[in-house]
Amino acid sequence: MTSWFDSAFNATLVIAGYPIFWREIVGNLFGFASAVGGMKRRIWAWPVGIIGNALLFTVFFGVWFTNPQHHTMWGQAFRQVFFIITSVYGWWRWRQTSRGLGKDAPAVVPRWATSRERLAYLGVWVAGVVLLQWVFSAIGAGWPAPRWYFWCDAWIFVGSMIATYAMARGWNDFWLAWIGVDLVGIPLLLHSGFLPSAALYAVYSAFVIYGFFVWLKASRTERPTTVPLVDAAP
């Protein structure tokens, strides 16, 4: 049984002489499915995303799980952990906001973040990047990474958390946050040799732009039939 598990866990697909873990491919497919569910505002998007996050953690955390790139991407790895934590919150929140709605009704009605909310998350983003780039550089990458690498990794890490939280809150802003993450994430993943993730991010960027306009239209045409108690919290 252990031998079978090890073989499946470490199975690779070789493309042009380049080995890629199947779990990186599958994890990203789960991530994309979660994004589709998020655009449609379906609760199942959260548990599907959690599965993808768990798989991708094993790909990026090369210190514990050997990967073909021989790189540990600290920001990419640990953001999967925070994705899972934030996704549990989002899963709970969307279940709360969908109570009393029809079976096929979207779980949330999108809206823009208020000026106060936007100022708060932008402040957290900037402060988080400044702090975490120092933390990541102190830990090291396990390979001779240039200084800019840690700033990029921190940007992706914090931006991903902001985007996921904004999605849980039902803010249109979350799509724009993802665009900011992708603009840095795609070049960094290509530089580090995580080709399936980079390719998915490129496809995802186009999808994010489409999803933004879908949510924007919904925020202009839909109105919540009830105001859940959960929304009374600041």
Tens digits of per-residue pLDDT, 113-143?
A: 999 999 999 999 999 999 999 998 888 766 6
Q: What is the pTM of this model?
A: 0.77
**Distance from C-alpha of 77 to C-alpha of 62, rounded to nearest angstrom:** 9
- For residue 181, the tally of other CB atoms under 10 A from its CB is 24
Among 88, 80, 100, 82, smallest CA distance to 31 is for: 80
> Which pLDDT value is given to residue 82?
85
Mean pLDDT, the chain, rounded, equals 81
Higher pLDDT, 28 or 94: 94
Asked if 215 and 170 touch (Cβ cutoff 8 Å), the reply is no
- The amino acid that residue 139 corresponds to is I
Among 105, 101, 52, smallest CA distance to 79 is for: 52
Size (the chain), residues:
234
Asked if 53 and 87 touch (Cβ cutoff 8 Å), the reply is yes
DSSP H or E stretch at residue 3:
helix 2-9
What would the pLDDT profile of 151-166 be if each residue is shown by its tens digit? 998 998 899 889 999 9
Per-residue pLDDT at 7 exceeds 70: no
Per-residue pLDDT at 188 exceeds 70: yes
Residue 11: which pLDDT band, with cuts at 50, 70 and 90?
low
